[in-house]
Amino acid sequence: MKLETTFHPSTPHILIEGGVEFHLGTMKGDTILYDFPKMLRYLDAKGKLLFGKKFKIHEEDQEILYQLCSYFIKDEISCAKFNIDPTKGIMLSGPIGCGKTTLMKLLRHLVPHHRPYEIIPTRNIVFGFNNLGYSIIEQYGNSNFYCFDDLGVEPEGKHFGKDCNVMGEILLSRHELFLKNPVPERSRGVTHITTNLNAEEIEDRYGNRVRSRLREMVNVIGFDKTTKDKRK
C-alpha cells in the first residue's frame, strides 16, 4: 500500500491519500487559512492508513492536537496563545502508551511542504554508540532534523570500557549549533523529542546543564499524567 502523501506545490493545503483529496483549509493570497476540524479528518484518515483501522483521534487528545497542529502549520496567533515558539522544536511528554510517538509520526504528514524530520529511537542511537563509538554523537549532534523517540529509556552508553551519557552529549552538541546558527531551521536544524520523563526526571537523568539547554531548544507540550494507555 502506498502511504506517501502527495500534494501540488501551489496548493500545499490539499493533500491526496489513496486518490482522495483532503482540503485542510483555503488559500488567501500566499497564506493558507487552515481549518482545524478538516485537519482532524485528514489526520484520522492518514492515521488509519499508517497504523491500521483501529486508529482513531481521541476526543480527550484534541487540545494537545490543536497545539501541535498550530505549531506545525506555524499559526503565529495560536502559537502565541499557547506560548509556543515555532522556531524551536517540540518535546512531547506524557505517560507510557498515551500516543506520543504515533502523533509525531503522523503530524509530519500534515505539512509535506516543510522539511521532514526523521524519528530515531534513543535506544538505537545508544546501541550504535556501543558499536561505533563517538562518531554516533557527531552523526546525531548535527543540524539535521530529528525526533528523538523515548528519551530516557535508553541505557548508558559504553564503548571500549568508557561510559557515556550519549543522548545528553548529543543534545548539548545540537544546542551549540542552535545558538551558533540563529537562522531558524535551515542551518541549525530542529530537535523534537518524545519522553515519559518530567522536567525533574530529565535533570536527574541528564543533569541540570541539559535540562536548561532543552528549555532554549524545545517547546514542552505534555499529556495529562492521568492519560490512559491507548495500547490496552
Residue 22 lies in a domain: no
Q: What is the pTM assigned to this prediction?
A: 0.92
Statement: residue 2 has pLDDT above 60:
no
Q: pLDDT, tens digit, for every residue of 155-203?
A: 999 998 889 999 999 999 999 988 877 655 555 689 999 999 999 999 9
The domain that holds 132 is classified in CATH as 3.40.50.300
Q: pLDDT, tens digit, for every residue of 53-93?
A: 999 999 999 999 999 999 999 999 999 999 999 999 999 99
Cell digits of residue 114:
516543510
CB neighbours of 174 closer than 8 A, spacing ≥ 6? 140, 141, 142, 189, 191, 217
Residue 47 lies in a domain: no
Residue 146 lies in a domain: yes
Q: Name which residue leads in pLDDT, 81 or 2.
A: 81
Q: Quick one: average pLDDT of 22-31?
A: 90
Residue 59 lies in a domain: no
* Total count of domains within the chain: 1
Residue 52 lies in a domain: no
Phi-psi region of 104 (alpha: psi -120 to 50; beta: other; left: phi over 0): alpha
Cell digits of residue 211:
535540562
Statement: residue 113 has pLDDT above 90:
no
Residue 114 lies in a domain: yes
Residue 9 lies in a domain: no
Q: What does the alpha-carbon distance between residue 140 and residue 197 come to, in Å, rounded to a whole number?
A: 21
Residue 29 lies in a domain: no
Q: Quick one: average pLDDT of 44-49?
A: 95
DSSP reduced 3-state for 204: helix
Q: pLDDT, tens digit, for every residue of 116-139?
A: 999 999 999 999 999 999 999 999
Range of the domain at 208: 87-222
Statement: residue 8 has pLDDT above 80:
no
Using alpha carbons, select from 205, 232, 226 the residue that is nearest to residue 95. 226
Q: Name which residue leads in pLDDT, 182 or 111.
A: 111
Q: pLDDT, tens digit, for every residue of 50-64?
A: 999 999 999 999 999
Q: What is the pLDDT of residue 1?
A: 35
Q: What is the pLDDT of residue 184?
A: 55
